[in-house]
Amino acid sequence: MDLETIVLSAPRVITAEDGVVIEDGAVLVRGDEIVQVGRRAELEGRHDGPGLALDDHTLLPGLVDCHEHLTGSDKYGSADPFDRETDAMYALVAAYHCGRLLSKGVTTARVPALRSRVDISVRKAIQEGFLLGPRLFCAGHMITMHGGHGAGYGVGVSGPTEAAREARLNIAAGADFLKLAASGGIGVFEPGDRPNEPQLTREELTAAIEVAHNAGRRATAHANGEEGIGNALTAGIDCIEHGIFLTESQAGDMAARGVHLVPTIHCIRSIADRWQEFGVPPIWGELARASLEPHLQSFRHAVASGVVFGLGTDGYGGHVDELEVFVSAGVSPLDAIQAATWNGALICMPEPTFGQLRSGLAADIVAVRGDPLVSLEVLREPTLVLQGGRIVGGSDARSPDVVAALPVGTLPAH
């Protein structure tokens, strides 16, 4: 059967490819893949099939959230090691957040750990067609020191042998990458914990990272503080999550070695301002407020050094809010959008099959009314979200013109 072909057109097309913005542009989609991107007149002249013209809109790639636990900002998102909710409840909560992400234009999400490896099961449900959700890259269990940060989403180890064993178990369970806790964090449950406290040792990190690399996987580290970040870098880490207290020298080392950064700055700002609303311990708010300026300065070091960085919300942050933080730190709106699309794809996999509007890549496309290069605020309300060429979200997703022109994402018939 021939795959359906359609031309989507708009006054602006942001490809996320080397800063390219096509005025009066169009994207030719066949099935789940982009066939061609170019000027509207050129593509419409070559294609006499259906089309969908979106006036006063911008087309851009689907967003990539590189730090999303699928647990939100309530009790499920706190990673409380004493929580007694069932794994089944966490799976249902994760399914809800998969739908929420699609509605926000997030077509790919990287899940840096979830308790009992629920993320891997949710990914399978999406792949098998039982759930509509973003393309997921999953870490399974977070590997922590015994009693360390992230214990609610992970498993504790003591020594390199145990670290390597847990790394192998994660990979055997289907993890796409590994998540390691190289330091403490803002979300503390034990008195005296500090965000910049080193946790997994350099030897433990090295053992787990070696397992990941031998299996063709990447490893990322929750890492704050000069020592924790330094241990992760020395051990051969591929990405740093958060990076509070990252030094200028360390940023230069990351850029030289191709180590990525997912800063999650707005997450920390939200906790500082709204910890009571989130229902988290007061110490979270105190630690977050004390980290705000060092966190922003660390990000500036990374930008100045040329580190590839991506968008990550970590449950408590907002997608557009994080991009606005990037811009406030001196990043252009176009580069901020690239961080949320192509950079994120590069953080997920070395040779991405998504993340740009380019021939041969997945037809993950977001349409927004207005111009995000003038105001990022327009990204808050996508009018249309396509994943693999299917409608999966957007305020106009059910309009007759859209439904007539595009296939709709559906679940199996009962």
Asked if 312 and 68 count as a contact pair (C-beta separation under 8 A), the reply is: yes
Same domain, 263 and 249: yes
pLDDT digits (tens, 9 = 90+) for 167-194: 999 999 999 999 999 999 998 776 667 8
Compute the distance between CA of residue 74 and CA of residue 70 in angstroms, rounded to an integer: 11
Q: Is residue 411 part of a domain?
A: no
pLDDT digits (tens, 9 = 90+) for 247-291: 999 999 999 999 999 999 999 999 999 999 998 889 999 999 999
Same domain, 42 and 169: no
Asked if 21 and 334 count as a contact pair (C-beta separation under 8 A), the reply is: yes
| Average pLDDT across the chain, whole number | 93
- pLDDT on residue 192: 66
Query: Model confidence at 411, in pLDDT bands (50, 70, 90)?
Result: low
Compute the distance between CA of residue 319 and CA of residue 105 in angstroms, rounded to an integer: 10
Query: Model confidence at 397, in pLDDT bands (50, 70, 90)?
Result: confident
Q: Is residue 412 part of a domain?
A: no
Q: Is residue 132 part of a domain?
A: yes
Q: Is residue 410 part of a domain?
A: no
- pLDDT on residue 413: 47
CATH number at residue 130: 3.20.20.140
Same domain, 270 and 331: yes
The CA-based angle 22-402-53, given to 5 degrees, is: 30
pLDDT at 28 over 70: yes
Query: Model confidence at 75, in pLDDT bands (50, 70, 90)?
Result: confident
pLDDT at 1 over 70: no
Q: Is residue 414 part of a domain?
A: no
Q: Which among 348, 366, 388 is the end of a domain?
A: 348
Q: Which among 301, 326, 348 is the end of a domain?
A: 348
pLDDT at 161 over 80: yes
Same domain, 32 and 150: no
3-state secondary structure 216-253: CCEEEEEECCHHHHHHHHHHCCCEEEECCCCCHHHHHH
Number of Cβ atoms within 10 Å of the Cβ of 88: 10
Instruction: Find the farthest-apart pair of alpha carbons in the chain and give their distance in angstroms, rounded.
Output: 67
Please, which residues bridge with residue 38 across strands?
26
Q: By percentage, how much of the chain surpasses pLDDT 90?
A: 81
Query: Model confidence at 2, in pLDDT bands (50, 70, 90)?
Result: low
Q: By percentage, how much of the chain surpasses pLDDT 70?
A: 97
Q: Note down the domain range covering 101.
A: 64-348
Same domain, 49 and 91: no
Q: How many domains does the structure of the chain reveal?
A: 2
- pLDDT on residue 48: 72
Same domain, 363 and 241: no
- pLDDT on residue 409: 72
Same domain, 157 and 203: yes
pLDDT at 243 over 60: yes
Same domain, 32 and 74: no
Same domain, 367 and 341: no
Same domain, 192 and 330: yes
pLDDT at 228 over 50: yes
Q: Is residue 117 part of a domain?
A: yes
pLDDT at 308 over 50: yes
Q: Which among 331, 348, 365 is the end of a domain?
A: 348
Same domain, 281 and 362: no
CATH number at residue 401: 2.30.40.10
Question: Please, which residues have CB within 8 angstroms of residue 157's CB and are 6 or more apart in sequence?
Answer: 143, 144, 145, 146, 163, 165, 166, 200, 204
Same domain, 239 and 378: no
Q: Is residue 376 part of a domain?
A: yes
